[in-house]
Structure 1
């Protein structure tokens, strides 16, 4: 089984590591995603730009990465479709903490599903590399529009609908400043993503980030994917800070929430007999989400029993 860091969403997951370790984390995550894309688990036309050497992952890793991608995408689309009868349907925003080399924005653009604003944050070692790659490949750069500005040195990308900034999310005043610089509107419905990020931080920092999100955004979904049990201290902290909080382990999500047709499709892609290890691994990952719903648009959001 690969180390958890290999599936991490971004460099912040290596908060106590060197810049080289931060970069390695992102390389591993991108390689895992490309392995899934190559095998046909999912579609991503941009992840190959971030992978220097193609690596074939074991079927159990491919299936686990697919499950992670699938639950995030399904919940994100629920968010983007929430309040579909209102005039402000498209004025939603997404904030990705420790975004790493994720390419979700570019895929959403291709599908005509991108929100009003998509903001990504990570350490500068990561954002500088990402800015350079976006600048190098026209199929990514053109998605930003003619007004885009890219600074490889600062690790920044700014455009009308997409922004990339460097930030240490443990520094709450800096986090606030970056949010203002990104021109995020705290009154708009916001989807906040933290994949394999907060578990690596100390409890004080984690509490501060969740509290900040709860106080900052009155209408928001806080999405968390971590290698933890749903009833641990972090889950309890989310419940204290947010109006509604729900958690499920990934085995239950895979069996009950991911579309049955999609499960049947991907289960035919590779021979798979590691069921005991699969069950054990998925029970040690979970998705949790917390909801602030000042506008009353998230009644139908979440896991459906």
Structure 2
């Protein structure tokens, strides 16, 4: 696992837009920890990175993160199995993500695993890893005598969103702007087709995109039924609208003919 070792930047003079984006890391981590504490999925590592939320999170937020975590994990595991883990993962905008530790628990670590984010966020993550044995021990075990590579890259990040031209999408954009967090690249977020086109125009051979409501419907329904029993959801229509404005996109190049184009839900 690679992480940045640069010193945290002073808050003085930092660009406000970057600061707002960094704030989304804390928001997402707190939401994930709350969902885990309620029982949406198991993650024994998130507790070492973020405090427990002081207030309850809305059920639609918890279900949204459940779908996102399980949807991304499904695609990553399919990729790792196709390549027999003879590959690398570069996690851009990783924040306090715990994917490395969860993959290690499932004996699915790739040959190399990199995380990239703002130096301030990466420095905080390194501090947590070094100070908490349940995090540092698995990393040292995975290197088995090799030196631990520490590097760093600055990168801004945002979630893939779609259907941003309708009224619901405009409200989402306005809410982000009020937090000084402009959504970079929103002009190409018109539809699922525009998301796929963006990937194909940048050299990928195959591209897929589905909205998060579709992802939710493709997840194991026995587990979906379990999590829907955890909390009562009054505004089901709002949940569906929200999920239809986020998507998962994945693309592939497959010069080794591993069948990567066949990875789908």
Q: TM-score range by the shorter chain?
A: 0.7 to 0.9
Distance 2:78 2:16 in 1: 35
Alpha-carbon displacement from aligned partner over 1:250-302 (angstroms, at most 9, x marks no partner):
111211x2122221121111111211101110110111111101111125743
Specify the alignment match of 1:189 in structure 2.
none
Match of 2:137 among 138, 142, 145: 142
For 1:217-228, list aligned pairs within 5 A: none
Please name the residue that 1:296 is paired with: 257
Q: Give the match for residue 131 of structure 1.
A: 126
Residues 87, 111 of structure 2: 8 Å contact kept:
yes
Q: Taking CA–CA contacts closer than 8 Å with sequence separation of 6 or more, which of the two structures ends up with the larger relative contact order?
A: 2
> Which residue in 2 is equivalent to 1:27?
26
Structure 1 spans left out of the alignment, 5+ residues: 1-14, 84-88, 149-158, 171-193, 207-226
Residue in structure 2 matching 1:104, options 96, 99, 108: 99
Query: Can you give the 5+ residue segments of structure 2 that lack an aligned partner in the other structure?
Result: 1-13, 162-181
Residues 93 and 116, structure 1, Cα contact 8 Å, conserved in 2: yes
Q: TM-score, normalised by structure 1?
A: 0.67
8 Å CA contact 2:33–2:53 kept in 1: the answer is yes
Find out whether 1:59 has 2:59 as its counterpart.
Answer: yes
* In 2, Cα distance between equivalents of 1:195 and 1:21: 11
Q: Report how far residue 166 of structure 1 moved.
A: 2.8
The answer on 1:243 being equivalent to 2:229 is no
Q: Is 1:95 matched up with 2:90? A: yes
Do structure 1's residue 276 and structure 2's residue 262 form an aligned pair? no
* 1:196 matched to 2:159: yes
Kept in 2: contact 1:78–1:301 (CA 8 A): no
Structure 1 equivalent of residue 16 of structure 2:
17
Assess if the C-alpha contact under 8 Å between 1:80 and 1:90 holds in 2. yes
Distance 1:301 1:20, change over 3 A: same
In structure 2, how many angstroms separate the alpha carbons of the residues matched to 1:259 and 1:195? Answer: 27
Structure (1/2) with the larger strand percentage = 1
Give the number of equivalent residue pairs.
229
